[in-house]
Structures are given as structure tokens and as C-alpha cells.
Structure 1
Amino acid sequence: MKHRSNNTLENNFSYHSPKNGQPEKYTEIRNKAKELAYLIDELVPNSREKSLALTNLEQSVFWANAGIARNE
């Protein structure tokens, strides 16, 4: 099956090597998320909701970093 070219798919499924300044942005995002993760861990009782909050925080970091990698 031949596929027509789709720039968004090409971009989203390609490796994006870090450009100048990006690793520092990734680190800043991860550090802030880690700070929030520790707060959630401290304040929220162990539960499904806590697990989901932490999982979704991880996803937020992933998507924020992907947004930098894919769009800068």
C-alpha cells in the first residue's frame, strides 16, 4: 500500500536530535514536574487517583518535551 506524504506524520515519527538550548528546557520541565510529583506523593493518600495523577504528570512532561523537539 502506497501512502501519500503527510508532513505531520513524518515529523511526529522521526527522531529529533536536541538543538541548542533544548536540553536545558527539558531539564527545567522535568525538575518542575518532579517538584510537583513529590508534593503529590506527600499530600495525596496512596490510591488509584494518586497513581493517575503521577502518570498524567509523566505524560505532561513527555508531551511538553515532544512539543519542543518537534516544533523548534
Structure 2
Amino acid sequence: MPEQNKTINQQLENNFMYHAPKEGQPEKYEAIRAKVKELAYLIEEVCPNSRERSVAITNLETAMFWANASIARN
């Protein structure tokens, strides 16, 4: 198998496996979640109820997911 395929396969295996929390990780997840939630409440408070506000909240959820995935996978 070419080296590039081996690297891609290793990345896929890592991305699609369960990552049990390691020491210190739950605290990091909670810190990210708290800050994202704080911003979500601000957006709900100052932005009119609209599609744009909904998209902003969805993107906060996405950012939280990827930040937590970064911690879990690396």
C-alpha cells in the first residue's frame, strides 16, 4: 500500500473511532461548552428572530463539535 493511502487510512480510523475521555479532557469540553453557550445567549438576546440567527446558533454548535473533536482526536 502506498504511504499516502496508509496515512489516509490511519486518519479515517482515528476520525471514526470512539475516543474515551482522557484525564483533563472533560474540563476542556466543559470550558468550550460554557463559552459557546454564553455567546449563544448573547445572539438570542441581541439578534432578531430570523433565519440568520438560527444559522448563527447552528454554526456555534458546529464550532463546539469541531473544537471538542480536536481535543478528543489529538
Is 1:62 matched with 2:52?
no
C-alpha displacement of 1:63: 0.3
Tell me what 1:7 maps to: 10
* Percent of matched pairs sharing the same residue: 69
Unmatched runs of 5 consecutive residues or more in structure 1? none
Partner amino acid for 1:24?
Answer: E
TM-score w.r.t. length of structure 2: 0.89
Aligned length: 68
C-alpha displacement of 1:21: 0.2
SS in 2 for 1:20: coil
C-alpha displacement of 1:49: 0.2
Partner amino acid for 1:37?
Answer: A
TM-score w.r.t. length of structure 1: 0.92
Structure in which a larger fraction of residues adopt helix: 2
| Structure 1 runs, 4 residues or longer, greater than 4 Å off | none
